[in-house]
């Protein structure tokens, strides 16, 4: 049996017949159409694309921390807040990083990405369902009973307004499904969702689980809906081309 690592290389076949001229003309026409902001964003080096998306997540988090920080910050144990913020930020950034990274061809990555998506969900739910960090009123009972929906809706709006621009930017920077294994596409809404939850964790002092589920984790619903709509439109456009 052969034990060599090196495979005989195939020599390139010169295109003497000109049979590829039409195809090359089509490609040149495609490249000519690659103009405008969207095309420039897609063509950015991946390190820069990742830096922009991560920068936007951190910008939103920083703005909310600076302008409207949670009012129970002095009661919340530092270590726990840091841990929760670090977990949300790290998962959000890593989702964006993987989503926007260059092309990889490896079906073995698919189970890994499925595991990562599950991990994102588990960490987010763990933060939501952990016992309250402190037992001080009014934070403990706020946003419950008749105030459940108004408070949850307010947080949902804040989280969504932070998550959707991130999702929009990520999708503008994206070069399309041809460059990724299928499940990787799910990392776009996951990253945006966790970015939205990060903002809420910095801003909202309400500790009730029902509020956290509806108002914080619930950001996933509008983010997923918008993502599914955009993906559907993108797919329909690709199929029509």
Partner 1 sequence: MVSDEELMSRYQRGDRAAFRQLFERYAPRLRRTMLRGLHDREVADDLLQQTFLQLHRARADYRTDASFRPWIYTIALNVKRSYFRRVGRRSEGALAIDPASIDGDPDELMAARELRQAVATLPAAQRQVVELFWFEGFSFPEIAGVVGSTHGAVKVRAHRAYKSIRATLERQGVTEPGQLAYLGRLAP
Q: Name the residues that contact partner 1, by CB under 8 A.
A: 1-3, 5-10, 12-15, 20, 23-24, 26-27, 30-31, 34, 39, 42-46, 102-109, 175-180, 182, 235, 238-239
Give ∠ CA 38-106-46 in degrees, rounded to 5: 30
Nearest to 176 by CA among 18, 30, 42: 42
Distance of CA 75 to the CA centre of its chain: 31
| Structural contact between residues 96 and 53, judged by C-beta atoms closer than 8 angstroms | yes
Instruction: Kindly tell me which of 72 and 174 has the beta carbon lying closer to partner 1.
Output: 174
In whole angstroms, the minimum distance from the beta carbon of 52 to partner 1 comes to 14
- Respond yes or no on whether the N-terminal peptide bond of residue 113 is cis (omega within 30° of 0): no
Using DSSP's 3-state secondary structure scheme, residue 134 falls into coil
Instruction: Kindly tell me which of 23 and 228 has the beta carbon lying closer to partner 1.
Output: 23
In whole angstroms, the minimum distance from the beta carbon of 171 to partner 1 comes to 15
Instruction: Kindly tell me which of 31 and 73 has the beta carbon lying closer to partner 1.
Output: 31
In whole angstroms, the minimum distance from the beta carbon of 235 to partner 1 comes to 8
| Structural contact between residues 160 and 175, judged by C-beta atoms closer than 8 angstroms | no
In whole angstroms, the minimum distance from the beta carbon of 107 to partner 1 comes to 4
| Structural contact between residues 152 and 218, judged by C-beta atoms closer than 8 angstroms | yes
Distance (Å, whole) CA 103 – CA 198 = 28
Instruction: Kindly tell me which of 10 and 146 has the beta carbon lying closer to partner 1.
Output: 10
Instruction: Kindly tell me which of 4 and 146 has the beta carbon lying closer to partner 1.
Output: 4
In whole angstroms, the minimum distance from the beta carbon of 54 to partner 1 comes to 17
């Amino acid at each position: 049996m052969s034990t060599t690592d090196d495979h005989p290389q195939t020599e390139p076949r010169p295109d003497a017949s000109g049979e590829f001229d039409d195809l090359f003309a089509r490609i040149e026409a495609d490249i000519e159409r690659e103009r405008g902001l969207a095309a420039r964003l897609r063509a950015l080096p991946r390190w820069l694309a990742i830096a922009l998306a991560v920068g936007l997540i951190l910008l939103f988090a920083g703005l909310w921390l600076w302008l409207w920080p949670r009012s129970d910050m002095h009661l919340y144990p530092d270590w726990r807040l840091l841990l929760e913020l670090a977990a949300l930020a790290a998962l959000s950034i890593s989702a964006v990083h993987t989503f926007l990274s260059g092309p990889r061809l490896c079906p073995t990555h698919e189970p890994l990405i499925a595991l990562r998506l599950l991990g994102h969900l588990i960490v987010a739910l763990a933060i939501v369902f952990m016992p309250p960090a402190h037992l001080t009123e009014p934070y403990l009972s706020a946003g419950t009973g008749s105030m459940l929906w108004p408070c949850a809706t307010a947080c949902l709006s804040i989280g969504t307004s932070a998550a959707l621009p991130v999702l929009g930017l990520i999708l503008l920077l994206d070069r399309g499904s041809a460059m990724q294994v299928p499940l990787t596409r799910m990392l776009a809404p996951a990253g945006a969702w966790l970015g939205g939850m990060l903002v809420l964790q910095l801003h909202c002092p309400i500790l009730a689980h029902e509020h956290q589920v509806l108002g914080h984790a619930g950001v996933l619903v509008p983010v997923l809906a918008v993502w599914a709509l955009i993906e559907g439109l993108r797919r329909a456009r690709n199929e029509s081309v």
